[in-house]
Amino acid sequence: MAKKHYLFTPGPTPVPPEVSLAEAAPLIHHRTPEFSKILADVSEGLKHLFQTEEGEVLTLTSSGTGAMEACVVNLLSRKDTALVVRGGKFGERWAELCRAYGVKTTCIDVEYGCAVEPEAVETALKKDKRIKAVFITHCETSTGVQNDTETIANIVRGYPALLIVDAITAVGVSPFFMDKWQVDVAVTSSQKGLMMPPGLALAAVRPTAQDKIKKADLPRYYWDFRAMHDALKRGTTPFTPAISLIMALKAALEIIKEEGLEDIWQRHSRLAHATRESVKALGLELFARQPCDILTAVKVPDGIDGVAFTKNLRDKYGVSIAGGQAELKGKIFRVAHVGYMNDFDIITAVSAIEKGLHDGGYPVEAGKGVATAQRILMDDKK
């Protein structure tokens, strides 16, 4: 039989058929009333997704990193200092981006697997009054950690600095309140909670960031938020947008609206809980001390080759999970339960982990993890 594929990676994530079909629809031109209507609908849906009424959400043709770079070039000037919370690969990316543009960057280094102590942000802001922007990662996908964005936002509000949040694996997955928390700018991308193929990035910008956007003096052209804002007001985009992906986004937002954001958050929380308990039932240890609901990062047990483990699952069973990145390579594996996923996906993922561990010589009582997941998912109906 041809190999059947299962995607349990934290991006890309499975795409519902309605979304794929919307993407496959015949192309329309983007300088038309038809497209403007789609863009308007999408904009409304996106504002709801970010929980913002004050802000605007800009659509960028890129993966998530493009939106991160856009934040740097639109919000900083050459003489500014940026503060970056660095507790994994994605926090590091903020620092690399700031440095690539020659911005002086101070980092708060957080032990991998831990969330940042919000007080550390306060201490840094107190110490250096030149800090103009604070960059954080809501869910650090490389370690499976969730940071306390709400508390950090409360702190940053007391200082003349903007808060920019990488919410790429948070928006549409777990509670994220842009207006209520007063986050100035937040970004996400299509291939995570939005259940779409990669290729679109989104930047939600509250009016509090506009002044800085006007004055920022780093070089920018394709990523210029001013041009995007002006175009959006006219119902369009500055350049040719990823038309098909925007049509897919419309379909994805409809699916999200139908389920309802709160139910979506609740579903991810249940699936995450079931996954965490089942790997623990197999005798494994979680890597993240403050785990997020998007993925579960698990320490590879002694005696198992972590790299071979994920490779075996992919090659032998068609099951893709993620390994560790950089220093964590071979030391952890990461199972995603984000987006288009339900109870049976968790059963499949846990079953695959059992098989993979067994193949690697780790003692597994067949079905122990699966039974744990099943019990949780049966008891905890919603």
Decide if 186 contacts 176 (C-beta within 8 A).
Answer: yes
Picking from 380, 324, 317, the residue whose alpha carbon sits closest to that of residue 349 is 317
- 136-144, 151-159, 283-291, 336-344 -> range binding ligand PLP (CB under 6 A): 136-144
b/e string for 368-377 if b means 16 or more Cβ within 10 A?
Answer: ebbebbbebb
Nearer to ligand PLP, 11 or 369 (CB): 11
Q: Which residue is nearest to ligand PLP (CB)?
A: 64
Q: Does 64 bind ligand PLP (CB under 6 A)?
A: yes
Short-list 282, 276, 264, CA closest to 340? 264
Site stretch for ligand PLP (CB under 6 A), options 43-51, 96-104, 137-145, 302-310: 137-145
CA triple 170-90-132, angle to 5 deg: 90
Residue 285 phi, psi (nearest 5): -115, 140
User: Judged by CB under 6 A, which of 105, 141, 174, 310 binds ligand PLP?
Assistant: 141
Closest distance between ligand PLP and the C-beta of residue 137, in Å?
5
Find the binder of ligand PLP among 65, 81, 210, 266 (CB under 6 A).
Answer: 65
What string marks each residue from 231 to 270 as x (binds ligand PLP by CB under 6 A) or -?
Answer: ----------------------------------------
* DSSP letter (8 states) at residue 242: -
- Provide the β-strand partners of residue 297: 334
Minimum distance from CB of 2 to ligand PLP (Å)? 28
Q: Which amino acid is at 21?
A: L
CB of 289 to ligand PLP, least distance (A): 17
Residues 143-162 that bind ligand PLP (CB under 6 A): none
Cβ(199)–Cβ(63) below 8 Å:
yes
Q: How far is the CB of 173 from ligand PLP (least distance, A)?
A: 10
Residue closest to 129 by CA, chosen among 106, 150, 103:
106
Q: Does 52 bind ligand PLP (CB under 6 A)?
A: no
d(CA 243, CA 111): 41
The residue within the footprint of ligand PLP, chosen from 23, 56, 92, 166 (CB under 6 A), is 166
With binding defined as CB under 6 A, does residue 374 bind ligand PLP? Answer: no
Site for ligand PLP contains 174 (CB under 6 A): no
Told to check if 189 binds ligand PLP by CB under 6 A, we report yes
Binding of residue 137 to ligand PLP (CB under 6 A): yes
Closer residue to ligand PLP in complex, CB, 192/273: 192
325 token code pair:
């990145």
> DSSP of 286-331, one letter per residue?
BS-SSB-SSEEEEEPPTT--HHHHHHHHHHHH-EE-EE--GGGTTT
Q: b vs e for 327-350, b when ≥16 Cβ sit within 10 Å of the residue's Cβ?
A: ebebebbbbbbbbbbebebbbbbb
Question: Is residue 63 a contact residue for ligand PLP (CB under 6 A)?
Answer: yes
Q: Does the protein bind ligand PLP through residue 169 (CB under 6 A)?
A: yes
Residue 323 as a binder of ligand PLP (CB under 6 A): the answer is: no
Q: How far is the CB of 214 from ligand PLP (least distance, A)?
A: 26
In the stretch 67-106, what mask flags binding to ligand PLP with x, by CB under 6 A? Answer: -----------------------x----------------
How many amino acids of this chain bind ligand PLP (CB under 6 A)?
14
Two tokens, residue 273: 């809980």
In order of 3, 220, 278, 349, 377, the CA distances from 320 in angstroms are 12, 37, 18, 9, 22
Query: Where do contacts with ligand PLP occur on this chain (CB under 6 A)?
Result: 10-11, 63-65, 90, 137, 139, 141, 166, 168-169, 189, 192
